[in-house]
Amino acid sequence: MPHLPSFNHERLKKDGRYLAWRTLLERCPSLSPGWHIEDDRVCVGETKDQDLGLLTELAKSLLPWRKGPWSLGGVEVDSEWQGGMKWRRVQPHIDLVNQKVLDVGAGNGYFGWRMLAAGAKSVTACDPTALFVVQHQLIQQLAGAPEHQMWACRIEELPLTETDFDVVFSMGVLSHRRYQQGDHRAHLGHLYRRLRPGGQCVLETLIVPDEACETMPNHDRILQPQSRYARMKNVYALPSQQTLSQWLANTGFVDIALVDFAPTTVEEQRATEWMPYQSLVDGLSETDQTQTIEGYPAPIRAIAIGYKPPHRSDGQKL
């Protein structure tokens, strides 16, 4: 079994299911380690036919698989999200060759493998959701790739002192930060602090058309869902594109550009055998797919790029 930071064990034990998951992972067959990308699937480990049943059982005990797709030693895991679709929107705007990358809110780490395949030197990931970290641990047992490490924590708890990442990603996280407590601002500050001077931030998040927003006393233009957004309980504030750019500028980022906008489609996010619960289609209006079931504009994802200035201006408070 590959070395895992003891920090992870201590954190993951807080989830009552963790010890059972570890026992399962110990049954994972030892395959020839290795990984590659094929048709958007991250393929890890080379298996013998007799291992397929056991691997299927292990992977099934870690449902739901939200991010992917994967081929785990030959077991095809068709995740809820078609990760390749997002990756194709992000990749034209980055050059990861030889870059040291931080992936914040990495889920099970799917995009980290795409980053390594695009030339990144290393990927450090963090995510506080125990199930996703355990999925990553299974994948790592099959891949054996020490250049992709995952910490079981939020960005604000990351125990590393490193502040010299070349590229920091935060994809799908910002809308889950609580606006009223200023957590979105704190989140952007953490991304900024982890970058070397001149480093690049890649932020992917939900936005809404300006006309759906209210103006806050601080001039932010945001939509605050009353209870749920597309059935999700934990979406707190969706900015207009101008407000998103402003948040990045307020954090200290420069050369900010919103480089891509894409409505989330039921082709990209859908229920499968590996995520057999409600998905996007259940969060959209039955009669008008441009609206959520609560009557808000349907999800649009923006990709924003910004840079930490090459020389940090002193006295900047984040």
Element (H, E) at 248: helix 241-251
**Site track 46-75 with ligand SAM (rule: CB under 6 A), x = hit:** ---------------------x--------
Shortest gap between Cβ of 211 and ligand SAM (angstroms)? 26
Cβ proximity to ligand SAM: between 127 and 166 the closer is 127
The set of residues, in sequence order, having a beta carbon less than 8 Å from that of 148 and lying 6+ positions away, is 109, 112, 113, 116, 122, 123, 125, 140
Is residue 107 part of the contact set for ligand SAM (CB under 6 A)?
yes
Taking CB under 6 A as the criterion, the residue among 45, 73, 84, 172 binding ligand SAM is 172
Dist CA 236 CA 255 (whole Å): 27
Helix 130-143 crosses helix 18-26 at what angle (to 10 degrees)?
A: 10
Is residue 154 part of the contact set for ligand SAM (CB under 6 A)?
yes
Shortest gap between Cβ of 60 and ligand SAM (angstroms)? 20
Element (H, E) at 46: strand 41-46
The torsion region of residue 25 among left (phi > 0), alpha (psi -120 to 50) and beta comes to: alpha
Shortest gap between Cβ of 311 and ligand SAM (angstroms)? 28
Contacting range for ligand SAM; rule: CB under 6 A; set: 48-56, 71-79, 99-107, 297-305:
99-107
Cβ proximity to ligand SAM: between 22 and 176 the closer is 176
SS3 assignment, position 75: strand
SS3 assignment, position 104: strand
Spatial contact of 93 and 303, defined as CB atoms under 8 Å apart: yes
Closest by Cα among 161, 162, 123, 255 to 201:
255
Dist CA 158 CA 173 (whole Å): 16
Is residue 132 part of the contact set for ligand SAM (CB under 6 A)?
yes
Taking CB under 6 A as the criterion, the residue among 127, 191, 245, 303 binding ligand SAM is 127
Cβ proximity to ligand SAM: between 31 and 239 the closer is 239
- Provide the token pair at 155: 């960005």
Cβ proximity to ligand SAM: between 31 and 305 the closer is 305
Is residue 184 part of the contact set for ligand SAM (CB under 6 A)?
no
Contacting range for ligand SAM; rule: CB under 6 A; set: 167-175, 263-271, 277-285, 293-301:
167-175
Taking CB under 6 A as the criterion, the residue among 28, 102, 152, 155 binding ligand SAM is 155
Is residue 176 part of the contact set for ligand SAM (CB under 6 A)?
yes
Residues 218-225: contacts with CB under 8 Å, at least 24 apart: 220/246, 220/247, 222/179, 223/296, 223/297, 224/179, 225/294, 225/296
Dist CA 99 CA 121 (whole Å): 5
Cβ proximity to ligand SAM: between 31 and 138 the closer is 138
Cβ proximity to ligand SAM: between 77 and 173 the closer is 173
Taking CB under 6 A as the criterion, the residue among 120, 131, 168, 173 binding ligand SAM is 173
Q: Which residues bind ligand SAM (CB under 6 A)?
A: 67, 104-107, 126-129, 132, 154-156, 171-173, 176
